[in-house]
Structure 1
């Protein structure tokens, strides 16, 4: 089997027949073998429409679930059922044009691992969404890209329309929450290349949108889970938590030296800061950038870490002073300075102090290419 098209459905009875007809019109001329898998959670008579179509069309297969719900988990079930070398996921609401299937197949056949029709490549459009949905979609996309490094180069990382080679998910445990299966594939999958094709997301003609506050909450839960399961994405959050622990250590040591041993405030402050830096270095070496070499390299890594920390303190002060010049209250300016210095310290430590570990993490760099509508037309004319 060449291609398996996996389509999760929930109360989409009016869209089934036109969707299948357009899929046949797109794939049949290619002369390839293909199948269409509907994974259905419907509570109306959509399953009856699907069963009737399955009985008459050998390319159509239906798996109805009575005790499971969720778009992403439906796609995973579809992956388990599908037999194709290439897997394509799309929605049943006709907002994903089946006419792009030949282009997706061609790109996968050329050796690309993941192909994503994108609303945000030159010539693409998300015009099928209203203003509120556009805002929600943009917010979800940006939060995902900030939280997960593998999403940052992908313009449409929350898309529900994509194709991939079967090897990308073979042996990978997919356990998504909610509706964004693509981010699960992009974070956990085994791939080296992603190609984005421009397309226009159109308004649905029949049925109702499945978007809800519950699905938005599930999306955030999904992101948290993926961050917790991805060492490169956990590091910044661990770095920040360890930094907070350093503040507690600093205050505790300062109080002990000042009140308990009656040292001068300057001496107590410097000593407390140094102990806090040791605390931060130890936990970052053993937890944030944990490796087989953890616990070694204090002779050069610790001085580098301290130097970066001292510069971070200077950055905090300079930013606070600069903000003060614009009328920003000192506490607010200090908070902004801490945010800037934290980002700078993390960036420097990841590239200097623990550069070997970060280099290993970046060894599986993903190549992302993009294709506008104009490029697609030129490619079609030249037969490339």
Structure 2
């Protein structure tokens, strides 16, 4: 079997026959051996429609689950049942155009590991969402890209429409929460290439949206769990926490030197800053980058860490002063400067001080895009 199409469904009785018909029409001239797997959690007559279609169409298979466990888990079940070398995941509501299937399959067959139809590259559109849904979708997408390193190059990392070479999931322990299975695949899969195809996402013609506050909460929980399971993403969080602890160490050291030792203010401030840097270095060395493959000794790492930290302080000051000249309040300018210097410090320490050679190679993913949109009809 060349290709398996996995479609999670929940109360989509009016969309089943149209989507099957459009899939067959789209792949009619593609010269591909394919099957269609519906993973169904429906509580209405959808399962009856699916069984009727399955009886007359040898390409259609139905796996009905009586204890509904969510869209993402349905896709994981579909991965296990799929017999194809390649798997394409799409929704049952026809907002994902089946007309894109030949193009997705072509890129997979040509060697691309993951193919993602995207609403957010040139030629794509998310016009099928209302203003509020667009805002919610944007928040979810940005949260994912901030929290998880592997999502940052992907324009539509929360899409439910994607194709992949099934082999990339061989060592992935997929255990998603809620509805965004693609971020689980992108974080845990073993792949090197991603290709994005623009498409226009339009409003559904039948059925109801499954979006809810509960699913948004599940998405947030999913992000937290993926960060905790991803060493490179967990590392940045630890770096920020240790940096915050350094502020506390700095203030305590300053108070001791000024009020107990009665040291000069400037000298006390400099020593307190050095003590905080030393504290940050020790904690980062023992916790944040403990599992890296760096072969540098402490007498190389410590000077590098101090130099990068000093540059970070300079960046904070320069940003604050530059924004102040633009009439931005000093506190806001300082906060922006701290954010920028934190990203700078983490990036440079990761690349130079504790250079994680294996991790850098592991996360090196090539993302390509094309500019030819396909519109839902």
Determine helix, strand or coil for the equivalent of 1:263. Answer: coil
Deviations 1:265-312 (A, max 9, x none): 333322222111111001111222223677962212111211222232
* Deviation of the 1:229 alpha carbon: 1.3
Q: Is the 8 A contact 2:73 2:176 kept in 1?
A: yes
Q: Is the 8 A contact 1:250 1:276 kept in 2?
A: yes
- Is 1:361 matched with 2:359? yes
Unaligned runs of 5+ in 2: none
The alignment of Structure 1 onto Structure 2 pairs a total of residues equal to 373
* Deviation of the 1:327 alpha carbon: 4.1
* Deviation of the 1:87 alpha carbon: 0.6
Determine helix, strand or coil for the equivalent of 2:240. Answer: helix
Distance 2:220 2:332 in 1: 28
RMSD: 2.0
Determine helix, strand or coil for the equivalent of 2:218. Answer: helix
Determine helix, strand or coil for the equivalent of 1:24. Answer: helix
Q: Is the 8 A contact 2:198 2:372 kept in 1?
A: yes
Q: Is the 8 A contact 2:171 2:190 kept in 1?
A: no
Q: How does 1:64-213 map to 2 (within 5 A)?
A: 64-213=64-213
Alpha carbons of 1:271 and 1:186: their partners in 2 closer, same or farther (altered >3 Å)? same
Distance 2:295 2:275 in 1: 17
Distance 1:371 1:99 in 2: 16
Distance 1:334 1:292 in 2: 32
Distance 1:342 1:258 in 2: 28
TM-score by length of 1: 0.91
Distance 1:183 1:360 in 2: 22
* Deviation of the 1:182 alpha carbon: 0.8
Q: Is the 8 A contact 1:258 1:265 kept in 2?
A: yes
User: What residue is the counterpart of 1:52 in the other structure?
Assistant: 52
Unaligned runs of 5+ in 1: 377-384
Determine helix, strand or coil for the equivalent of 2:115. Answer: strand
Q: Is the 8 A contact 1:285 1:294 kept in 2?
A: no
TM-score by length of 2: 0.93
User: What residue is the counterpart of 2:349 in the other structure?
Assistant: 349
User: What residue is the counterpart of 1:254 in the other structure?
Assistant: 254
Determine helix, strand or coil for the equivalent of 1:168. Answer: helix
